[in-house]
Amino acid sequence: MKSRHIILLAVSLLVLVLDQATKIYVDHVMPLHSSITVISNFFNITYLRNKGAAFGILATSSYRLPFFILISLVAVCVIVAVVNKLREDQTVAAVSLSLIFSGALGNLIDRIRLGEVIDFLYFHWYEHYWPAFNVADSAICVGVFLLAIDMWLEEREKKKELHQ
């Protein structure tokens, strides 16, 4: 087994367990729409369910569930194909793609199991609220951010080599 596959397996296992465990815990100990203040005027644990995508996009569409399941399955397959083509020295890309993969898979599990996604991390500054999210969403965002930085650095390195 190559290092990129070990990274995919390890990161995915860690993120999926953390994502599903936190969602199951919130679902079992909190009533829907209830909230626990963690840091006053900044962060709450608030149990919400999201039928749509980020920011509730497509939440009312009758095709939303098949659409989101299909998109998630395509993303998972594409990521596996890309990971298979990575060079052994592309560790950051492997970690980044693994985070995106596991985040997509975590939310896919919710959509298949519940028809919607459990969100509970709720940041705000007094009355200014950011949409609630979960561990899977965080993994996707961190993965995309790291991948963008890694791609930028790799492109910079290639340009540097061309000019020498």
| Matching residue, tokens 């949409």 | 131
Under the phi-then-psi rule, with left for phi > 0, alpha for psi from -120 to 50, and beta for the rest, what region is 58?
left
150 is catalytic: no
**Which of these is catalytic: 19, 110, 137, 150?**
137
Give the type of residue at 119: D
Q: Within a 10 A sphere around the Cβ of 60, how many other Cβ atoms?
A: 8
- Token pair belonging to 18: 């953390």
Q: DSSP 3-state assignment of 70? A: helix
**Which of these is catalytic: 19, 89, 110, 119?**
119
19 is catalytic: no
Strand partners, 61: none
Instruction: Say which residues have a Cβ less than 8 Å from residue 150's Cβ, sequence separation at least 6.
Output: 90, 92, 93, 96
* 50 and 56 Cβ atoms separated by less than 8 Å: yes
Looking at the annotation, which residues are catalytic?
A: 119, 137
